[in-house]
Amino acid sequence: MKSKALYTAGLLCLLALTLTHAATQTQARPKRDHLTPQEADLVREAQELDKRTAVFIKAAERRVLAITDPNAAAQMQKDVEKWGELKGTRADFLYDLSKILDEAITNIDDVSSRDERNPLVPKSVRKLAEASTRILAQLAPLRDKVEEGKERASLEQAVENAESVIEAANKLPAAQPAKGGKKKEGDKR
């Protein structure tokens, strides 16, 4: 009888803790989707991992451009029809960037966990690492300008995500040359 009461009390505590955690997470999360509807459609349409990764890279680079070059409106206007209009503040774009990189990483991890030998995994990691290197270079000057708070947290998360991609790419074996490539002088095939 006593153990049943303890079990019930434990379940009630667990339920209360879960509800409290869910409520705080709901309040902490902005009511913002990190991709425009058009970008989300492009992600869904891109079934191959490398093509999907390219969509995430383009979406991330659009946010970086919006963050680092306020006069880029004309350049970004040409992408609006296909990629959607970007709206928000620098803090919003930093949040989007961190989530886009996180989603790209998750996509690569998902494919890798299902098929470790999929040749698109290292290709996608390398593509994302190249983009992450460019992104980090552009975000570096912001570290001195961004104050503490949500904007700073989003910047640090974006930097951390980009650094983790670069670190993962550095652990990959050397890229294999493409089959059917041109023979080099002195190459015996």
Residue 185, pLDDT score: 47
Kindly tell me if the per-residue pLDDT of 17 is higher than 90: no
State pLDDT tens for residues 26-41: 445 457 899 999 999 9
Residue 132, pLDDT score: 97
Mean pLDDT of the chain: 82
Average pLDDT over residues 127-133: 97
pLDDT band at 18 (very low <50, low <70, confident <90, very high): very low
Residue 45, pLDDT score: 96
Q: Tell me the whole-structure pTM to 2 decimals.
A: 0.76
**Contact by Cβ (8 Å): 160, 116:** no
Kindly tell me if the per-residue pLDDT of 87 is higher than 60: yes
pLDDT band at 19 (very low <50, low <70, confident <90, very high): very low
State pLDDT tens for residues 52-70: 999 999 999 999 999 998 7
pLDDT band at 179 (very low <50, low <70, confident <90, very high): low
Average pLDDT over residues 98-102: 97
Average pLDDT over residues 146-173: 93
